[in-house]
Amino acid sequence: MATALANGRVLLDDGLHDGLAVLLEGGDIVAVLRDDDPRVRASDVHDLQRGVLLPGFIDAQVNGGGGVLFNNAPDVAALRAIGAAHRRFGTTGFLPTLISDDVDVMRAAIDAVREAIEQGVPGVLGIHLEGPYLAPARKGTHDAGKFRIPDSAEIELATSLGTGVTLLTLAPEQVPAESIRALVARGAIVAAGHTAASYEQARAGLGAGVRGFTHLYNAMTPLQGREPGVVGAALEDRGSWCGIIVDGVHVHPASLRVALAAKPRGKLFLVTDAMPPVGADSPDYVLYGETITARDGVVRNAAGALAGSALDMATAVRNAVSMLSLPLEEAARMASLYPAQFLRIDNARGRIAPGYRADLVLLDDKLDVATAWIAGSLL
């Protein structure tokens, strides 16, 4: 029997609608109907209790959650734990993110993601390799001792997943243009991040195939009057996407509002850059052998560098509404449709429409997550 989600406000392409029901069957959305349609009455009706039904959130940058850091446990069990932690906050699809590490850890992480996808671990969409092809001057909390320039063997390794999405963050001034083109030709989505590039070098990276920018403003050369830097290149370019961390710490809300004004609509999307404290009882975790503690929702290492975040996607959506003065429907698209477009999975995810996967999240009147579905399964 089909399931009908009824008695809620439903986000469609043209905004929020009352009086509709969403019909689910076999893991997909099969119809969006008036709630008095006979097909609704013939289904197993789930009462949304006047909540807001949105496309499930898609997070392209998840380092950890539920007390687990992917770098420390690059295996399927860790991916299950991380995914379960983030589902509580409406994330129905995510890229487990490996920060700069050795080749053997990269290989193990890629193998784990491949196996997780084959096993159908809920929410795993692919992998995000954030490094190790980064700039020491903009390393953030990454270990610069892990940084290197990829040779042909590493390019082959980095693009060896064979299923799902591979997102690779690199510094375009550190990686030859021909290597960027090779990564793109092998199916990787390439983003610029942790980069000390000049404006000209950033533009050259875009020309070589860079599709977006990782955590805009953070760990990149800033926009200045006589040197636009990476930020200037990112804001000027009409075709690229930018991930943003809306926690009030990584970037001032005014700077994010400037980015919203500069970029075409749909080119900014929410990410968490989440670390193990998300969905965990303990605020502590170990990164590169150092114990790090989240304090008041802020995660820094001993040197004072931001070490990811304790942000979840539901909070990011609420912050986009409160800090950036965005309507809920646009904040929701920044957490669903726009990252799906960046990751080239918007043919099946990011919208509530027939033929799309039934990855959905229900918010209550406080914009907290009431429940979520992945492939039609209530979580």
Beta-bridged to residue 331, according to DSSP, are none
User: What does the alpha-carbon distance between residue 42 and residue 167 come to, in Å, rounded to a whole number?
Assistant: 42
Q: In degrees rounded to 5, what are phi and psi of residue 76?
A: -65, -40
Which residues are tagged catalytic?
273
State the Cα–Cα distance between residues 364 and 130, nearest whole angstrom.
Answer: 34
Q: Pairing between strand 126-130 and 165-170?
A: parallel
**Which region holds residue 332: left if phi is over 0, alpha if psi is between -120 and 50, else beta?**
alpha
Do the bridges between strand 360-363 and strand 52-55 make them parallel or antiparallel, or are there none, so unpaired? antiparallel
List Cα–Cα distances, 131 to 89, 107, 344, in angstroms: 27, 13, 21
Specify the pairing of strand 3-12 against strand 15-25.
antiparallel
Phi then psi for 37, rounded to 5 degrees? -65, 140
| Angstrom distance (rounded) from CA 172 to CA 234 | 13
List of residues 6+ apart from 51 with CB closer than 8 A: 8, 9, 362, 363, 364, 365, 370
> Vertex 349, ends 345 and 352: CA angle to 5°?
150
Tell me how far apart the alpha carbons of residues 70 and 85 are, in angstroms, rounded to a whole number.
13
